Structure 1
Amino acid sequence: MLDTITPVILTFNEAPNLDRTLRQLAWADRIIVVDSYSTDATLDILKRYPQVEVFQRPFHTHADQWNFGLQQVESDWVLSLDADYRLSNELIAEMDRLDPEAAIAGYFIPFKYCVFGKPLRGTLLPPRAALFQRFRATYIDDGHTQLLQVNGDCATLQAPIYHDDRKPLSRWLWAQDRYSLLEVQKLQSTPTEALSLGDRLRRNKVVAPFVILVYCLLVHRGILDGPAGWYYAFQRVLAEILLSIRLIEAEQQGMEG
C-alpha cells in the first residue's frame, strides 16, 4: 500500500530533526512539505531529498497549514507527520501490508516519546489519526494544535511513530508560551461541560501540574527511565505551570477590564 501514500510534513526551523524523519520516508515517491519560511538549514536539508516538494506559505494556524498541504496531494492516502516524527521500521512494514476495507477512512497510530533519542516507557501522547484518505478528512483548529475530522471508520495500527524532538530547550520554551496563550483562549471560550477531564483540571490552575508529575513518573513509570524520564516529566509540568500562569493573568486582566 505504500505506493498509494503521500507523506505531508509541516516545517519551521526543523534542521535538528529533519534528516531522521526523511530517512524513514525513502519509500515515498513524493513528499509534500509546507514550510513557514524557515531561517535555519531546513531548506538546505530538504533539497537533499529529490522526492520532496516544498511549498512555502506564512503560518496562520496549524489547521490552515495542514489543509493547504492536503490540497497538494494527488494520491489516495495521506500520512501526516510533524518534522520530529520518525517512523519505526515495523510501522513501514505494517503500512505496506494494509488492504483496507471500503469503510475504513483512516488509521490511528501509537506514539513513543523520545528524550535524547531514548524511547520512554510511556507518555501523554495518545494514538493519533495520521494515516487517512485524502478526500475523507479535513483539519480544524483545537486550542494550540489541530484536530483531524475523518468521514468514516478508523482502525488502529500496532507499530509506533517515534516523537524525537532534538530542538534546543529555548525553542521548546518559546513554543510552549505561544501554545499556552491559545490554550487559554480555548479553555475560556468552551463551556465546562464540553471540556475533557484534563482540560477541566487545567482550568482549575492549581491541580494540573501536580497531577501531571504523578502521571508521568508513576502511572507511566517515567521514574524507571532515569534522567530521560525526569526530563520529560519536568517538561510537562513546566508546560502546565506556564498555562496556569497565563490563565491567572487572563483572569486578572478580565477583572480589571
Structure 2
Amino acid sequence: MIRKNTQSVLKIGEHQKISAVIITYNEMGYIEHCIASVGFADEIIVVDSYSSDGTYEYLSAHPKIKVIQHPFQDFTKQKTFALKQASNDWVLFLDADEVVPAGLRKEIIAVTNRPSPHVAYWFYRKFMFKNAHLRFSGWQTDKNYRLFRKSKVAFCQERRVHERLEVEGTSGVLNKRLLHYSYKKYEDYKEKMLRYGQLKALQCHENGKQVLPLKLMAAPIWKFLYNYTIRLGMLDGRKGIIICYLNALSDLERYREFRQLNRKSTELHDTAVLSPVRE
C-alpha cells in the first residue's frame, strides 16, 4: 500500500534531503564509481546480497555508507526491502552499475527543491559498452524511474525481474541522462542475461502462464533481429552484434528454464496422483 504524505514546505536555507539507495552483489569495479557519483545525497543506503568479491568490505569501510546484508530472493523483494531502509522521502534509487554525471546531479537537486506536481521522475540512460557509448541496439530509448518520493510509490510485487514502480501522482522526465555501465566484459554480461532469463521464466511459471513452445523458441530469434535491424544495432558494429546476441540469449534461457519448470511441475503432479494416500 502506498502511504499518503505531503511534501514539507522548505524554510530559507533548507533543502529537501535525498536518500541514495543501491542494491549490490559482487559489484567491485562498478560500485566505486556509483558511490562517488551520489556523494551529494544526505544518506547512502546499500543492501548487499552477501557479496564474495570484496564489495561488502569496501562498503563497510566507507564512512558515509550504511550497508545492510540481506538474502536475495528476487529484484522486486530486494528493492522493496532496500526502499524501506531510506530515512528521507526523496529517494534516488540506482543500480550499482549506474553513475550520475554532474549535469544530472544538478538537475536532481533542482527538481527536488522546487514546488513540483511530480512525485517521480524518469531517467533516460546512456548504455556504456565498457567505456564507449552504445548508441543503438535497442538501448537508445531506455528509461527507468530512478528519483521519487518514497511515500508515493511501491514496487509491483508480481514481478521478479525488471521490476515495475507503481506511482501515486504525476511523473516527469529529467533531461540529462544516467550513465549505465552494464557491459564490463563478455562473461559478466552473459551471466547477468542468463540470470534475468531464469527469473522471467520463474515469474511466468508462478503466474500460471501457458506459452506455446513455438513462440518461445522463436522469441530469441525475433529479439535479435528486431534489435539488430529495426533498432539499428548494425550501426553499433561489433558491439551491436554482441549486445543483440546476449540480450536474445536471455530469452532463450527463459524458454529453457520455463520448459524445465513445467516438466518438473508435471512430474510432481503425476507422482501425487499415483501415490497411495495413507490413513
Once the two structures are superposed, residues 104-155 of structure 1 have per-residue CA deviations (whole angstroms, 9 ceiling, x without a partner) of 1101111122211212113347311110001111223313342211111111
CA distance in 1 between counterparts of 2:213 and 2:38 reads 37
Asked if residue 116 in structure 1 is aligned to residue 166 in structure 2, the reply is no
CA distance in 2 between counterparts of 1:139 and 1:225 reads 34
Confirm or deny: 8 A CA contact 1:28 1:51 kept in the other structure: no
What amino acid does structure 1 have at the position aligned with 2:259? I
Output the TM-score relative to the length of structure 1. Answer: 0.84
Once the two structures are superposed, residues 162-184 of structure 1 have per-residue CA deviations (whole angstroms, 9 ceiling, x without a partner) of 22035554444444444323312
Deviation at 1:243, TM superposition (A): 1.5
Q: Determine the structure 2 residue equivalent to 1:68.
A: 81
Q: Determine the structure 1 residue equivalent to 2:66.
A: 53
> Where in structure 2 are the equivalents of 1:1-257 lying within 5 Å?
4-47=17-60, 49-98=62-111, 99=113, 101=115, 103-122=117-136, 123-124=138-139, 126-141=142-157, 142-166=159-183, 169-190=186-207, 204-253=215-264, 257=270
Shift of the 68–181 alpha-carbon distance from structure 1 to 2, 3 Å rule, reads: same
Deviation at 1:76, TM superposition (A): 2.3
Confirm or deny: 8 A CA contact 1:217 1:233 kept in the other structure: yes
Shift of the 242–43 alpha-carbon distance from structure 1 to 2, 3 Å rule, reads: same
CA distance in 2 between counterparts of 1:201 and 1:94 reads 46
What amino acid does structure 1 have at the position aligned with 2:232? R
Larger-gyration structure (1/2): 2
What amino acid does structure 2 have at the position aligned with 1:15? M
CA distance in 2 between counterparts of 1:229 and 1:19 reads 27
Deviates more, 1:46-55 or 1:155-164: 46-55
DSSP 3-state at the match of 2:127: strand
Shift of the 9–201 alpha-carbon distance from structure 1 to 2, 3 Å rule, reads: farther
What amino acid does structure 1 have at the position aligned with 2:173? T
Shift of the 242–19 alpha-carbon distance from structure 1 to 2, 3 Å rule, reads: same
Aligned length: 251
Shift of the 162–102 alpha-carbon distance from structure 1 to 2, 3 Å rule, reads: closer
What amino acid does structure 1 have at the position aligned with 2:256? I
Shift of the 118–66 alpha-carbon distance from structure 1 to 2, 3 Å rule, reads: same
What amino acid does structure 2 have at the position aligned with 1:36? S
CA distance in 1 between counterparts of 2:15 and 2:177 reads 16
DSSP 3-state at the match of 1:226: helix
Output the TM-score relative to the length of structure 2. Answer: 0.78
DSSP 3-state at the match of 1:164: strand
Unaligned runs of 5+ in 2: 1-13, 271-279
